[in-house]
Amino acid sequence: MASDSESSPVGKDFPYAERYGVLRAIPEEGLERAAILSQIAEMARGEDAFWETGKCSGTMYRGDLDHYEFLAECFAPFAHVNALQRDMCPSATRFEGEIIAMALDLMHAAAVAGHHPADEPCGSVTGGGTDSIVTALLAYRNSARSERGIEVPNIVLPRTAHPAFHKGCHMFGIEVVNAPVGADITKVDVDFVADNIDDNTIAVVGSAGNYPYGTIDPIDQLAEIAEQRGVGLHVDGCLGGFILPWGEELGYDVPIFDFRLPGVTTISADTHKYGYGFKGTSTLLFRSKELRKHQYFLMTDWPGGKYFSPGLAGSRSGGLLAATWASMASLGRNGYREIARQIFETAFAMQEIVRGHRELRILGDPTFCFSFNSDEFDIYHVNDFMRQRGWRFNGQQYPNAIHMCVTGPQTQPGVVEAFASDLAEAVGYAKDPPSPEPFSGAVYGGVPGGPTPEADDFIRDVMVGLLDKMQSVP
């Protein structure tokens, strides 16, 4: 939710309707280009002002307008190009191939030659984290169907894993075996995973790190189980894939989660998060080309010609490939490492501030992204107060908690100090709130005591209404 300032458009449903009017049909006469550019610039300035404060969790990972302007310059010459048509735009092959090569290097793909010498690591650039996840599921399903004859596939999925896995399983007819968390409530129960792999299991999943808590599942143990049982292991590094490796190089306690582990067969890592590219790109990396080919779609008898595409998308803008490549190439290892150092230092400083309040508790052993709750009051009272001070946290439920995903904007001078001051007041507010029920708890916090069918139906109706509103005009 946004700042309460009347001048801020953030958090309002239709903030521009009165200012600019509403297009309910294609205008008979087009708007002047100068007017369009003016409106776009004005909207962007107003919305950027919210996250530039450094009080917004996640979302804007680099948070550097100069960086974004540079990427826009790289995007523009290829914005109109269709990356599907490589005969016309061989540049896309350079950009995509080098993005994949750089990502494979970051994930230590060279180690595959030591433990699976017959495999050739490879990858794809996708349209985002969800695209990478569902594409991996498609490849696992098709591979298991073709090579093992599995018609009713399942995956063993941590409860903390991203909902995109459930979306992909729904799309592709894969059953989900929900694995509970272990004693610390933030990481998957490895024994459950081992006990619930059966003849129809095509893959298990681990997160590095998971979105709710920022913690890393025991990937080494999952990899050993997957290797022994002959199933795939997908490591979801969509959130942490492009920052945790730098944390390891900087000497932080980051466990190995990549292709150095023999059981890891695929990794997703988002270039549009800590890769600092524009939104709309991610990488999906494979231990072998034999698995990747099962994500391809081929049609040889279509009247329009022979059709083939590497993933779910058909047409893609070459501009996104150019901008993503430019981000990775321009920052270099030293640039990424220095940004990571600032983010890790900031994240740990903020965690120490949380630990300084006996009423608050950090969940698990996080690094750049951390979640906290309280045994003394509903943490959403803290969330309510912090929202009044312009902070935008992300919410968890069962148990209620809030998290801060630290990115570039939080590393600005004064942000950590503001967090300390505002949080101290928020704890006092939460001890004696103006009403028993927090305002934000009804939206993000779930139902005390756990979900019920009645509550779930109500919440689903609310969510559908919100999605409807996002795609409508006033």
398 versus 429: which is more confidently predicted? 429
The confidence score (pLDDT) of residue 198 equals 98
In sign, the C-alpha dihedral spanning 306, 308, 314, 317 is negative
Higher confidence at residue 172 or residue 455? 172
Looking at residue 72, its pLDDT comes to: 98
Question: pLDDT (tens digit, 9 = 90+) per residue, 11-44?
Answer: 678 899 999 999 999 999 999 999 999 999 999 9
pLDDT of 94 over the 60 cut: yes
Which CATH number describes the domain made up of 91-326? 3.40.640.10
- Closest by CA position to 369, among listed 279, 254, 258: 254
Q: Where are the domains of the chain?
A: 91-326
Provide the pLDDT for residue 139: 98
Q: What is the mean pLDDT of residues 322-339?
A: 98
Kindly report the pTM of this predicted structure.
0.93
Residue 453 pLDDT class (50, 70, 90 cuts) = low
Mean pLDDT of the chain: 93
pLDDT tens, position by position, 165-184: 999 999 999 999 999 999 98
Q: pLDDT by residue (tens digit) across 200-238?
A: 999 999 999 999 999 999 999 999 999 999 999 999 999
